Amino acid sequence: MQRLFGIETEYGITLESEKNVDPVNQSVELIKSYRQDDFRPMWDYSGEDPFQDERGFRAKTLQEHPDEQEHQEADRQRNLSFVEIKSDLILTNGARLYNDHAHPEYSTPECRSLFQLVAHDKAGEQILQQCAIRRSEKLGKRVLLYKNNTDFHGHSYGCHDNYLMSRDIPFDDLKASILPFFVTRQIFAGAGKVGIETESGLTSAGVFQLAQRSDFFHVEVSVDTMHNRPIVNTRDEPHADPAKYRRLHGIVGDANMSEYTTAIKIGTTALVIDLIEQKRIPNWFTLQNPLHTIKEISRDQTYQWRFKLANGKSISAIDLQREYLALAQKHLNAESEDTDWVLVEWESILDALEKDPMDLTDRLDWVAKKWLLETFIDEEGLTWDDPWLQSLDLEYHNIDQEAGLYYELEASGLVRRLVTDQQVDSAIHNPPADTRAYFRGKSLDKFRPQVKSIQWDNVTFNIKGKSPVSVSMNQLADAEMAEKYNRILDQAQTVEALVKNLELSS
């Protein structure tokens, strides 16, 4: 798994005991709470183009949720610029924190190690919770943040897992190989959800699903992310050398509280991408009806998870996942710690799911949540369609470690951890040392007053008496190049010396 990967998470935000909350205003003010002494958005949007499609064209428009027009009209009344509404911050640990469609979003720095990414994902929770505490003190009301994907009123917000991969793979091959995996991955990667939902709201309350996002996918492939969402997203923003790389922008996954679930979700996907790059995935994996299947698997109360392949044969989600696993075991060298861990745990999870999913309460989010809800239903004499359960579902995702139900399980030693508090604390303050995120974060840490702007693969410095100088990190997807740039940055005492030494080394 020698590739860069990262996670973007949009958080739900509200105020305790408040019915009418302006989420855009609250998100902006929350993010400003991160650095009240020097709130200076520096993100450079020129490197982003959400209209560019991997299939070789540029979309004319993007699909929007039916409510989006109302949100846009409200934004026009705020008397705030686009930059002020986005409130886009770059953090010294290499991450990005900003307001995205009425949700505070935390994008981890690029990581190369699986457990490193888990630590940075958890660091994002703690950074946002600290912002919530500061904002709550100023407001005199508690700001509540939820790491989930639905408000039960027809709105879904994303958790996107991203992977740098080879541009050599034709998009049609990528789609055919990754789509069956994405559809079935939810049997271990889902966060669990009470009820069935559409963009119009909750349609059925008495069903417990595997995944929060599965209700909201309506096309197989598309560049869109907000409405008519695709199982495979085609946005073409590699944030690296476009001749060599593409970025798999996975929008189909849930936001996970469990460290283990995050690791198995990202780790298995990274190995499947390895197989795709080696052209190991056979054609018969193709599903007959992916859009129907992704919902049916999530809602299947028998946990048999059976569906039809395009060739007419019936198969279970567990068995198709076993096919991916068998290919990984045969063709991928388990010489790295990460790969070895994923191969062992992938098999263990599938075995347990086949035997009794409830044996995985300590590892998988959807199982842990179901166990909590079943316990509460038994104690209170409720039924699965009781509205109370939606509140408990939401509280599972409360990132306040003193209040969230997931963290009650963690405090009781009932869920498995993969990283320590010390590793999470280090991730709050430090970027991964072996990726370009180090160059981004440490540039800001050392030379903040002279940093004019930043994007994922570029840092622009102001130099006295000269035009701004941009340092491209386009080639830093390569580990050796990243190490070289990071070493030069560590040695530089001034921006001028940094720029000069980078030029001499090129």
Instruction: Read off the pLDDT of residues 15-40 as tens digits, 9 standing for 90 and up.
Output: 999 988 999 999 999 999 998 666 67
Q: Are residues 134 and 261 in the same domain?
A: yes
Q: Are residues 402 and 473 in the same domain?
A: no
Q: Are residues 119 and 221 in the same domain?
A: yes
Q: Are residues 382 and 493 in the same domain?
A: no
Say yes or no to pLDDT of 334 above 90: no
pLDDT of residue 69: 65
Q: Are residues 451 and 348 in the same domain?
A: no
Q: Are residues 379 and 483 in the same domain?
A: no
Using 50, 70 and 90 to split pLDDT, how confident is the model at 203? confident
> Three-class SS of residue 19?
coil
CATH of the domain at 179: 3.30.590
* Higher pLDDT, residue 58 or 327: 327
Q: Are residues 271 and 138 in the same domain?
A: yes
Are 446 and 495 contacting, i.e. CB atoms less than 8 angstroms apart?
Answer: no
Domain encompassing residue 444: 433-505
Using 50, 70 and 90 to split pLDDT, how confident is the model at 488? very high
pLDDT of residue 38: 65
* Higher pLDDT, residue 390 or 74: 390
Of the candidates 100, 173, 362, 434, the residue annotated as catalytic is 100
- Which of residues 424, 451, 482 is at a domain's end? 424
Q: pTM for this one?
A: 0.96
Residue 27 neighbours by CB under 8 Å, 6+ apart: 13, 87, 99, 102, 103, 104
Encoded amino acid at 170, one letter: P
Q: Are residues 264 and 308 in the same domain?
A: yes
- Which of residues 401, 424, 447 is at a domain's end? 424
Residue 172 designated active-site? no
Sign of CA dihedral 7, 12, 13, 16: negative
Q: Are residues 453 and 348 in the same domain?
A: no
Q: Are residues 230 and 139 in the same domain?
A: yes
- How far apart are the C-alpha atoms of 264 and 348, rounded to whole Å? 11
Q: Are residues 412 and 454 in the same domain?
A: no
What is the number of helices (H) and of strands (E) in the chain?
16, 19
Smallest CA-to-CA distance from 157 within 166, 167, 147, 165 is with 147
Using 50, 70 and 90 to split pLDDT, how confident is the model at 347? very high
Q: What is the mean pLDDT of the chain?
A: 94
- How far apart are the C-alpha atoms of 129 and 398, rounded to whole Å? 10
- How far apart are the C-alpha atoms of 158 and 103, rounded to whole Å? 10
Encoded amino acid at 442, one letter: K
* Total residue length of the chain: 506
Strands 217-222 and 229-233: parallel
- Which of residues 393, 424, 455 is at a domain's end? 424
pLDDT of residue 42: 85
Count structural domains, the chain. Answer: 2
Using 50, 70 and 90 to split pLDDT, how confident is the model at 145? very high
Q: Are residues 441 and 366 in the same domain?
A: no
